[in-house]
Amino acid sequence: MSNVFQFLDQQRQDPTKLPAQERAQEFVEIYQPFEQADLEQQSDRCLDCGNPYCEWKCPVHNYIPDWLRLAKQGRILEAADMAHQTNSLPEMCGRVCPQDRLCEGACTLNDEFGAVTIGSVEKYITDEAIKQGWKPDLSKVIPREEHVAVIGAGPAGLACADVLTRNGAKVTVYDRHPEIGGLLTFGIPSFKLEKSVVRTRRQLLEGMGIEFKLNCEIGKDISFEQIVDDHSAVFLGLGTYKAMAAGLPGESAQGVHQALPFLIANTAEIEGYQVDDPYINLQGKRVVVLGGGDTAMDCVRTSVRQGATSVQCAYRRDEANMPGSRREVTNAREEGVEFLFNRQPLSIKTDPCGQVVAVECIETALGDADEWGRRRPEPIAGSEHLLPADAVLIAFGFQPSPPAWLATHGIITDEKGRVLAPEQGKFGLQTSNPKVFAGGDMVRGSDLVVTAIDQGRKAALGMLDMFDAAIRKRA
Ligand code: FAD
Ligand code: SF4
C-alpha cells in the first residue's frame, strides 16, 4: 500500500555525481544514472497533490505525478509514452532544465523536505525506455497531404517536426550544422548532455519518417523563397546567435574570445564535427570568464576540463542575483572554479604585442531594483583592481539575429529583432506571413530548451489548425 508520508522516511536523493577531481578532466555527464530501486524510492516521495504545482510550473505541463506513479510501478514503457504526450525531448529536459526554478522549485516538498527529483526521473524513464526498445507508436497515424519545411534542428524545430509527424504531415528539417540539436549539440557541453543522447534521438526521429537535410543553410545553399514555394508551410526555429558585445576597451585583444564559438569548437573537436569556429585550447592558461549565466558556467567548466591553470568567474552582482542555475554554480565550484562576485569589468589590459594580460575590474554594491526587479550593480569608487589573465571568455548573452530574408518575405520583427509570432493568434505562432510559423529563441529571445520545445509543439498545432481550416473551406 502506498505510504503518503514516504517523504518523511526517505530523503531527497540526487543521482550520484562523479568525484570532482575525476570529472574535471573529462567531457562526460557528471550525474550517474539512477538504479531502478532509487527511482522507485524517489518517485514514491511524490505526495500526488490534488493540484500539482510542478505540472503548472513546467513549461510543457508534463503529467508529472502520473509518470512518477508509472515509474514507481516499473511501467517504464508506459511512462515514456506518457512523457512524450507533452514533451518531444524528455531526456534532454531531464538533463538540462533548471529544475530548481521550474518543476522542482514548485514541488510542495521543496525547501523543508527536499523536492521530488523530477528531472532525474524524467531522464531515467526516457533513457531506460529507449534501452528497452521503446519507439513512438505511429500505428494509428493517418497520413496527411501537407509537407512542412522546418528550418533549424534545435529543440524548437525538433519539437515542431515531432508533433507534425505524429499528426500525419510529412516533414523535412533543414539545418546549417552537420548534426541536429542546435544548442543542445553546438552549445551545451557534453558534461551536461552527452552528444550520443542527441544522436539516439535523431535515430528515433528518422525512424518516424522525419527527413533531415544537414549542412544546408537556408538563404545560402537554398533560397528561402524556394523553401516557401516547395512546402505547404514553413516553421522557423533559427535561435539567437548575435553575441552581446562587452563594450570594453581592449575587447578585440588576442586571447579574448566570445563564449559560443569557444564552446562550439570544443564540442566539434571532441565529437569530430566540421565547423567554421577554430578550436581554442586553454591548457596552462589563467582564464577569466565574464558573465554569470548558464553560458558562463559552461565556459568555466570547459576551461577547467581543458587544463587551465586557474579559472575565475567575474560577475557584477552577488551570488543570489546570478542568472545561472544554482546546480551548475555548485558543480563549477566543486570543480575548482573561483567566483568573484560584485566585480564589474572596466577594460582589457594587453602587452605591447596586443595579447591580453589582465582584466581591470571595479567592485560593486547592489542598488535599487531595475525595471525587471533585479538590483542594479553600482561601482564603488577607488576599488579598481586587476585580475591577471592569459585568456578571457565573454559570456554576456545573445541578441536575436534575424536574417535579412525575413523582412523580404513579410515577416515582421519587434524592436529587439524577435520574430512576431503570437501564441494566442488565430493560428498559434503564425508570423505576419501566413504560410510561415516561428518559435523558440528567435521569438522569445534567449531562453530555455523546454520553452523552445513548448513553442515548437504549439506552432505545429497552429499549422495543423490552419491546414484543417483550409480543407473545411475547400469542402
Ligand atoms: P537553437 O537551439 O539555437 O537552434 C537553432 C538552429 O537553427 C541551429 O541548429 C542553427 O544551426 C539553425 N539555423 C540557424 N539559421 C539557419 C539557417 N539560415 N539555415 C539552416 N539552419 C539554421 N537552456 C536550458 O534549458 N538549459 C541549459 O543548461 C542551457 N544551457 C545553455 C548553454 C549555452 C552555452 C547556451 C548558448 C544556451 C543554453 N541554453 C540552455 C539555452 C537553450 O540552449 C536555448 O534556449 C535553446 O536551444 C533554443 O532552442 P531553439 O530551437 O530556439 O534554437
Ligand atoms: Fe521539469 Fe523541465 Fe521536465 Fe518540465 S520538462 S518536468 S520543467 S525537467
Confidence of residue 214 (pLDDT cuts 50, 70, 90): very high
Q: Which of 155, 150, 235 is nearest to 188 (CA)?
A: 155
Among 398, 428, 447, the domain-final residue is 398
Q: Is 461 exposed, middle or buried (0-12, 13-18, 19+ CB in 10 A)?
A: middle
Lowest mean pLDDT among 30-34, 168-172, 382-386: 30-34
**pLDDT at residue number 392:** 98
For 44-65, give the DSSP string: TT----SS-HHHHHSTT---HH
Give the pLDDT mean for 192-209: 98
How many CA atoms lie within 13 Å of 313's alpha carbon, on the beta-carbon side? 34
Please check whether residue 453 is in contact with residue 93, taking contact to mean a CB–CB distance below 8 angstroms: yes
- Per DSSP, the three-state class of 213 is strand
Residue 303 within any structural domain of the chain:
yes
Characterise 136 by phi-psi region: left (phi > 0), alpha (psi -120 to 50), beta (else): beta
Tell how far the Cα of 103 is from the centroid of ligand 2, in angstroms: 6
- Going by DSSP bridges, is the β-strand pair 211-213/170-174 parallel, antiparallel, or unpaired? parallel
| Cα–Cα–Cα angle for 120, 91, 105, rounded to 5 degrees | 45
Q: Measured from the CB, is residue 120 less than 6 Å from ligand 2?
A: no
Pairing of strands 211-213, 385-388: unpaired
Confidence of residue 215 (pLDDT cuts 50, 70, 90): very high
Report how far ligand 2's centroid is from the alpha carbon of 129 (Å): 18
Q: How crowded is the C-beta side of 358, counted as CA atoms within 13 Å?
A: 12
pLDDT for the residue numbered 4: 67
Q: Domain for residue 285, yes or no?
A: yes
At 49, the pLDDT band (50, 70, 90 cuts) reads confident
Q: Does one domain contain both 385 and 250?
A: yes
Distance 79 CA to ligand 2 centre (A): 14
Asked, for residue 137, whether it belongs to a domain, the answer is no
Residue 2 has pLDDT above 60, yes or no: no
Q: Which three cell numbers stand for residue 287?
A: 582564464
322 and 367 both lie in a single domain: yes
Is 64 touching ligand 2 by the criterion CB < 6 Å? yes
Instruction: For residues 275 and 368, state if they share a domain.
Output: yes
| 413 and 363 share one domain | no
Count structural domains, the chain: 3
Find out whether the beta carbon of 243 lies less than 6 Å from any atom of ligand 1: no
Q: How many CB atoms lie within 10 A of CB 469?
A: 12
CB atoms within 10 A of CB 334: 16
Residues 468 and 383 in one domain: no
pLDDT class of 326 with cuts at 50, 70, 90? confident
Q: Is 260 in the pocket of ligand 1 (CB under 6 A)?
A: yes
Of all helices (H) and strands (E), which one includes residue 334?
helix 326-334
Count of alpha carbons within 13 angstroms of residue 301, beta-carbon side: 33
Q: Which of 238, 289, 418 gets mutated to test ligand 1 (max ligand atoms within 8 A of its CB)?
A: 238
If asked whether residues 257 and 334 sit together in one domain, one would say: yes
| Domain span holding position 208 | 147-240+400-474
Q: Read off the pLDDT band of 50 (50, 70, 90).
A: confident
**Pocket flag, ligand 1, residue 428 (CB < 6 Å):** no
Please state the pTM of the whole predicted model.
Answer: 0.96
Q: Which three cell numbers stand for residue 79?
A: 511512462
Amino acid at 258: Q
- 252 alpha-carbon distance from chain centroid: 28
* Phi, then psi, of 417 in degrees rounded to 5: 95, 5
Q: Give the ligand whose atoms come closest to the C-alpha of residue 91.
A: 2
Shared domain check, 256 and 392: yes
Whether 1 shows a pLDDT value over 70: the answer reads no
For residues 203 and 199, give the distance between their C-alpha atoms in angstroms, rounded to a whole number.
6
Quick one: pLDDT at residue 170?
98
- Please give the number of the atom of ligand 1 that sits closest to the Cα of 192: 28
pLDDT mean over 424-439: 96
The complex's ipTM works out to: 0.98
Q: Categorize the per-residue pLDDT at 27 as very low, low, confident or very high, splitting at 50, 70 and 90.
A: very high
For residues 291 and 287, what is the distance between their CA atoms, to the nearest angstrom?
Answer: 13
> What does the pLDDT look like over 105-151, one tens digit per residue?
999 999 888 999 999 999 999 999 999 999 999 999 999 999 999 99
Average pLDDT, whole number, for the chain?
A: 95
Residue at 171 is within a domain: yes
Cβ of 397 less than 6 Å from ligand 1: no
CATH number at residue 310: 3.50.50.60
Dist. CA 113 → ligand 2 center (Å): 20
293 lines ligand 1 (CB under 6 A): no
Q: Are residues 62 and 180 in the same domain?
A: no
Q: Report, as an integer, the average pLDDT of 85-107.
A: 96
Of 376, 398, 420, which closes a domain?
Answer: 398
> Ligand 1 in contact with 210 (CB < 6 A)?
no
Nearest to 263 by CA among 286, 290, 297: 297
Mutation test of ligand 2: which of 122, 126, 192, 448 has the most ligand atoms closer than 8 Å to its C-beta? 122
Q: Are 290 and 213 in contact (CB under 8 A)?
A: no
Across the range 335-344, mean pLDDT stands at 97
Work out which ligand 2 atom sits closest to the CA atom of 119. Answer: 8
In a domain, 142, yes or no: no
